[in-house]
């Protein structure tokens, strides 16, 4: 009996994905690219050795790594993939624009059309403009707040991520204390602390920048407490502070009018990026009319920021998202994924938690603040065909189906067994 | 710019403790201290204090004043203490004048030998045993150094304020050494040996990997991707400490 079990285990191990080609490429990369792979895609932030490093292709909800392993992808390129990889309508729109021209000597008509489209669907916004990445827009937005108010301080929530620029990234190389000298922080959802902070710096706070809910890596995600976001709005109105919504990660995953609409609050400026053009490089910032003059005073440009193809892709993405009621689909499927995974975990005596919005769940074990269980589980799930992340929220796209959830459960179930064997049960 | 107070803390609490390893490693030093029975206290005005006790062939370096030192060395400032460590000044003996001969002739043999290892030449490092000893000292110096730098240096104040509470354990595989650093609300404490329940574990594949990483010869992210360094647990703690190491490096050069 013991021998049979050993053979079964050996066979199961043999079926687990290997990443030889990924590792080989990484070796080559480290010779010519600092980090090998940098930023949020760095394998250092996942579980090196138990995760693919390089991918070959994507289609719908699936991705294939360079070793030929296929995955149900719950990371969706860390958010940009909203309708699934290679969505035919988006690709057709992009191809049509590409035939006419992408990076020309000036913007195309599509830029005006996209701005009009966004203004039309976004209740708070009277104007939009475009760039490439989230940081382009969050950094620009705080500059607009300063230009509008003539003040210098910016308030953000502790642990919030607003991009890679120096003002919002503590630590790491190449920074000076001056980079963050004008940045103040308060604990998320603590309106009283925010009020005190504003009072302590009264007359010198230009803007408050917040994500619509709190999704720092490494922590359970927190939705806004009742009255929190309206309270922030009230403070901003009373103190003449610009309310900036960092909707880069969330935007059209939560609501077609931006996540401010979802949570019932209207910002003054809002930065969009990941859920806008289905993987094409585009970010945007929208604002109220009152901030348009200040916006026009803050320099903004980039070599590829006027490219037409991503804008055409965005138009098609928004059309399709509306047509297929994508937001409801993502929310419902995300909820099913979380429910099924937590039930499966419970059947093994384990407590899995899903925090945040169902279409962007942050998945970890309860009482696993150091992530030891979660890291092992995610590595095991990944090696069985579902691409998940132990430290970052996952993403659901409209391309995901109940079959994908089932396939993920098939990968998750044996992974729960591994966790139980290594760490014991939690119930 | 280097802060003399930070440097004085590093000299006494991160570099000097390597004497403990030296008298256990180097056969000549083992012989040298075999008959020593002495406690030497170091104290800098407006700066740190520590004491070195050598008894029965074993050496212990502890922070703070000694209860009954045989020799008490006083420094008029952190800069004065640092100058002594650089070989450019002498301490002011307050106690143990009868041991001045020992201090001027015997004790320097120990500190000079430590310096020999901490500034080891490539030829010396070709000996694997020496290489591993030097790497161990580097690891201890780095982790004990972080415990001094983090609460004191304005350069890392913002970083330290964002460093999560918890204990980080560092180990060179397969058999150690192991050292850990605990952080709680701005207070840091380094200890040799494994931690009871570390929040994050950082393991180096071997001494070469650890040495290269501490010498800035390799990219930490690349080393992680290659599996030369494995971090499990609460990575943000390790990430913050790694970022602080960059600020420690100029002091230890």
For the stretch A169-216, pLDDT in tens is 866 778 888 898 999 999 999 999 999 999 999 999 999 999 999 998
Which of 3.90.1150.10, 3.40.50.300, 1.10.150.120, 3.90.1410.10 would CATH assign to domain A10-83+326-423?
3.90.1150.10
Please, which residues 258-277 of chain A have a Cβ atom closer than 8 Å to chain B? none
Of A53, A171, A371, Cβ closest to residue B225 = A53
A70 vs B56, higher pLDDT = A70
What percent of chain A clears pLDDT 90, i.e. is strictly above it? 88
On the question of pLDDT at A46 being above 90, the answer is no
Chain B interface includes A180 (CB < 8 A): yes
Q: Do A177 and B235 touch (CB under 8 A)?
A: no
Phi and psi for A268 in degrees, rounded to 5? -90, -40
Annotated domain spans of chain A: 10-83+326-423, 88-323
A10-83+326-423 matches A88-323 in fold: no
B154 and B82 co-located in one domain: no
Q: Could you list the residue range(s) of the whole structural domain that residue B89 is in?
A: 4-118
CA distance, residue A375 to nearest chain B CA (Å): 8
A31 part of contact set with chain B, CB < 8 Å: no
Same domain? B143 vs B227 = yes
Per-residue pLDDT reduced to its tens digit, A286-303: 999 999 999 999 999 999
Best mutation target among A44, A173, A374, A389 (most B Cβ atoms within 10 Å) is A44
Which of B54, B87, B118 corresponds to the end of one domain? B118
Backbone angles phi, psi at B170, to 5 degrees: -120, 130
C-beta of residue A416 within 8 angstroms of C-beta of residue A426:
no
Q: Is A40 on the interface with B (CB under 8 A)?
A: no
Number of independent structural domains in chain B = 2
What kind and span of H or E run contains A414?
helix A402-423
Nearest to A284 by CA among A261, A300, A299: A300
> Helix (H, G, I), strand (E, B), or coil: what is residue A426?
coil
Among B97, B118, B139, the domain-final residue is B118
User: Is A7 a residue whose pLDDT tops 50?
Assistant: no
A98 to chain B, any CB pair closer than 8 A? The answer is no
pLDDT digits (tens, 9 = 90+) for B75-123: 999 999 898 888 887 888 777 777 777 777 778 888 889 989 998 999 9
Least Cα separation, residue A33 to chain B (angstroms): 9
User: Is residue B153 located within the same domain as residue B247?
Assistant: yes
Backbone angles phi, psi at A35, to 5 degrees: 75, -20
Mean pLDDT computed over every residue of chain A: 94
- Co-location of B106 and B160 in the same domain: no
Same structural domain for residues B156 and B38? no
The share of chain A scoring above pLDDT 70, in percent, equals: 96
Pair A73, A61: CB distance under 8 Å:
yes
Q: Residue A173: its chain B contacts at CB < 8 A?
A: 243, 246
A242-247 vs A205-210, strand pairing mode: parallel
Mutate to test the interface with B, among A38, A166, A171 (most CBs of B within 10 A): A171
Q: Of B192, B201, B149, which is closest to residue B173 (Cα–Cα)? A: B201
Cβ–Cβ of A371/B234 closer than 8 Å? yes
**A371 lies within 8 A of chain B by CB:** yes
Q: Considering B118, B149, B180, which residue would you say is the last residue of a domain?
A: B118
DSSP state letters, B49-116? EEEEEEETTEEEEEES--SS-SEEEEESSHHHHHHHHTTS---EEEE-GGGHHIIIIIHHHHHHHHHH
Please state at what angle helix A308-323 crosses helix A109-121, rounded to 10 degrees: 30
pTM for the full predicted model = 0.91
Contact of A37 with chain B, judged by CB distance below 8 Å, is answered with yes
CA distance A413 to A415: 5
SS3 B58: strand
- What are the tokens at A15? 């079926």
Q: What CATH code is carried by the domain that includes residue B127?
A: 3.30.1050.10
What letter does residue B15 receive in the DSSP assignment? I
Compute the average pLDDT of residues B206-226. 92
- Looking at beta carbons, which residues of chain A come within 8 Å of B230? 48-49
CATH numeric code, A88-323: 3.40.640.10
User: Chain B: nearest CA to A94, how far in angstroms?
Assistant: 35
- State whether A38 and B240 contact (CB < 8 Å): no
Hey, are the CB atoms on A171 and B162 less than 8 Å from each other? yes
Strands B92-95 and A55-59: unpaired
């Amino acid at each position: 009996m013991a021998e049979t079990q050993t053979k079964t285990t050996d066979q199961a191990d043999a079926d687990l994905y290997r990443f030889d080609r990924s590792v080989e490429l990484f070796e080559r990369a480290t010779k010519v690219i600092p980090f090998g792979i940098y930023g949020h895609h760095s394998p250092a932030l996942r579980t090196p050795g138990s995760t693919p490093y390089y991918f070959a292709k994507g289609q719908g909800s699936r991705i294939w790594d360079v070793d030929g392993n296929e995955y149900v992808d719950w990371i969706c390129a860390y958010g940009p993939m909203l309708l699934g990889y290679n969505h035919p309508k988006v690709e057709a729109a992009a191809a049509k624009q590409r035939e006419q021209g992408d990076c020309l000597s000036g913007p195309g008509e599509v830029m005006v059309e996209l701005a009009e489209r966004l203004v039309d669907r976004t209740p708070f916004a009277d104007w939009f403009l475009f760039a490439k990445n989230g940081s382009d827009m969050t950094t620009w937005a705080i500059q607009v707040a300063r230009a509008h108010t003539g003040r210098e301080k910016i308030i953000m929530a502790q642990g919030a991520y607003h991009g890679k620029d120096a003002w919002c990234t503590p630590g790491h190389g190449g920074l000076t204390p001056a980079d963050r000298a004008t940045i103040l922080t308060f604990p998320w959802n603590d309106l009283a602390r925010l009020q005190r902070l504003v009072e302590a710096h009264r007359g010198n706070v230009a803007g408050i920048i917040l994500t619509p809910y709190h999704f720092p890596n490494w922590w359970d995600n927190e939705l806004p407490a009742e009255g929190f976001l309206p309270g922030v709005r009230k403070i901003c109105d009373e103190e003449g502070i610009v309310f900036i919504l960092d909707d880069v990660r969330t935007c059209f995953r939560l609501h077609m009018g931006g996540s401010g609409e979802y949570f019932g609050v209207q910002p003054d400026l809002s930065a969009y990026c990941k859920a806008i053009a289905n993987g094409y490089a585009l970010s945007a910032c929208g604002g109220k009319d009152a901030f348009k003059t200040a916006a026009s005073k803050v320099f903004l440009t980039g070599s590829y920021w006027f490219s037409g193809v991503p804008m055409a892709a965005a138009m098609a993405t928004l059309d399709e998202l509306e047509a297929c009621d994508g937001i409801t689909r993502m929310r419902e499927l995300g909820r099913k994924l979380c429910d099924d995974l937590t039930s499966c975990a419970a059947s093994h005596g384990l407590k899995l938690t899903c925090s945040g919005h169902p279409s962007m769940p942050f998945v970890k074990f309860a009482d696993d603040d150091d992530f030891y269980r979660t890291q092992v589980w995610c590595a095991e799930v990944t090696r069985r065909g579902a691409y998940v992340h132990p430290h970052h929220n996952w993403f659901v796209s409209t391309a995901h189906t109940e079959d994908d959830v089932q396939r993920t459960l098939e990968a998750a179930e044996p992974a729960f067994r591994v966790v139980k064997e290594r760490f014991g049960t939690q119930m | 710019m280097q802060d003399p107070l930070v440097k004085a803390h590093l000299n006494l609490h991160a570099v000097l403790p390597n004497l403990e390893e030296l008298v256990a490693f180097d056969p000549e030093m083992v012989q040298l201290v075999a008959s020593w029975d002495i406690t030497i206290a170091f104290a800098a005005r407006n700066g740190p204090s520590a004491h070195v006790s050598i008894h029965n062939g074993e050496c212990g370096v502890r922070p703070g004043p000694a209860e009954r030192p045989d020799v008490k060395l006083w420094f008029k400032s952190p800069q004065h203490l640092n100058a002594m460590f650089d070989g450019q000044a002498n301490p002011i003996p307050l106690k143990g004048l009868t041991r001045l001969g020992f201090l001027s002739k015997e004790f320097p043999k120990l500190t000079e030998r430590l310096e020999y290892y901490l500034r080891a030449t490539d030829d010396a490092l070709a000996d694997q045993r020496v290489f591993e000893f030097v790497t161990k000292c580097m690891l201890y110096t780095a982790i004990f150094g972080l415990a001094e730098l983090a609460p004191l240096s304005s350069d890392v104040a913002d970083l330290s304020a964002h460093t999560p509470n918890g204990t980080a354990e560092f180990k060179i595989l397969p058999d150690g050494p192991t050292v850990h650093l605990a952080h709680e609300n701005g207070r840091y404490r380094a200890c040799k040996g494994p931690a009871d329940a570390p929040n994050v574990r950082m393991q180096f594949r071997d001494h070469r990997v650890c040495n290269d990483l501490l010498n800035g010869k390799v990219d930490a992210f690349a080393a992680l991707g290659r599996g030369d360094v494995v971090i499990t647990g609460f990575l943000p703690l390790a990430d913050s400490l790694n970022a602080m190491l960059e600020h420690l490096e100029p002091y230890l050069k």
